[in-house]
């Protein structure tokens, strides 16, 4: 796999990590579980090899998610600030799926694929047409 070194951290900085990711495999997931667990409209992930993944600082908390299919995955997040960090298989994991929002180099990473479009927010194709602002001021008009 093409490898790119990245670093990242949770919002409060208690947890930091480095990894080698595959920058050609940035994935958007629109499934209902990702919407709920990310607190957002969809989740962006990128795979990293487990052997390249190094965590420092506070130990993440793990949530064992069981999907409707019965598949289980561990979802790791900061116990202090709640930032989602990664998920991985519960057995024989060879990769972790890093949450794009926790990666410092995220602006360089473009999605290549999206899944679970059946449950995608119906307004996503209209996003570029919405009025906006480079910072928070647009809230004043709501
Ligand atoms: Zn944190
Ligand atoms: Zn998902």
Is 30 within the bounds of a domain? yes
Is 139 within the bounds of a domain? no
The ligand with the least distance to the CA atom of 31 is: 2
The ligand with the least distance to the CA atom of 35 is: 2
Is 88 within the bounds of a domain? yes
Per-residue pLDDT reduced to its tens digit, 41-86: 999 999 999 999 999 999 999 999 998 889 999 999 999 999 999 9
CA–centroid distance, residue 132 to ligand 2 (Å): 27
Question: Number of folded domains in the chain?
Answer: 1
The ligand with the least distance to the CA atom of 99 is: 2
CA–centroid distance, residue 16 to ligand 2 (Å): 23
pLDDT at 10 (0 to 100): 98
The CATH number covering residue 51 comes to: 2.170.150.70
Is 140 within the bounds of a domain? no
CA–centroid distance, residue 53 to ligand 1 (Å): 18
pLDDT at 134 (0 to 100): 85
Is 40 within the bounds of a domain? yes
Is 62 within the bounds of a domain? yes
**pLDDT band for position 139 (50/70/90)?**
low
Task: From residue 103, give the alpha-carbon distance in Å to each of 60, 70, 111.
Answer: 16, 29, 14
pLDDT at 132 (0 to 100): 84
Is 131 within the bounds of a domain? no
CA–centroid distance, residue 99 to ligand 1 (Å): 14
How crowded is residue 100: how many other Cβ atoms within 10 Å of its Cβ? 22
Global confidence as pTM: 0.92
Domain that holds residue 9: 4-120
Triad 46, 58, 102: Cα angle to 5°: 25
Is 142 within the bounds of a domain? no
Which residues are within 8 A (CB) of 86 and not within 5 positions of it... i.e. 6 or more apart?
Answer: 48, 53, 60, 75, 76, 96, 97, 98, 99, 102
Kindly tell me if the per-residue pLDDT of 36 is higher than 80.
yes
CA–centroid distance, residue 29 to ligand 2 (Å): 4
Per-residue pLDDT reduced to its tens digit, 88-131: 999 999 999 999 999 999 999 999 999 999 999 999 998 888 88
Count Cβ neighbours within 10 Å for each residue of 68-97 and write b for 16 or more, e otherwise: eeeeebbbbbbeeeebbbbbbeeeeeebbb
């Amino acid at each position: 796999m093409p490898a790119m070194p990245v670093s990242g951290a949770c919002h409060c900085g208690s947890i930091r990590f480095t990894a080698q990711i595959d920058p050609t495999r940035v994935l958007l997931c629109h499934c209902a579980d990702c919407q709920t667990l990310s607190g957002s409209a969809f989740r962006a992930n990128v795979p990293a090899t487990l052997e390249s993944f190094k965590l420092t600082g506070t130990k993440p908390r793990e949530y064992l998610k069981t999907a409707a299919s019965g598949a289980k995955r561990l979802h790791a997040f900061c116990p202090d600030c709640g930032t989602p960090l990664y998920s991985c298989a519960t057995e024989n994991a060879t990769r972790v799926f890093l949450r794009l929002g926790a990666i410092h180099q995220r602006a360089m990473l473009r999605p290549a694929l999206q899944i679970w479009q059946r449950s995608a927010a119906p307004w996503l194709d209209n996003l570029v047409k919405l009025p906006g602002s480079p910072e928070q001021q647009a809230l004043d008009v709501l």
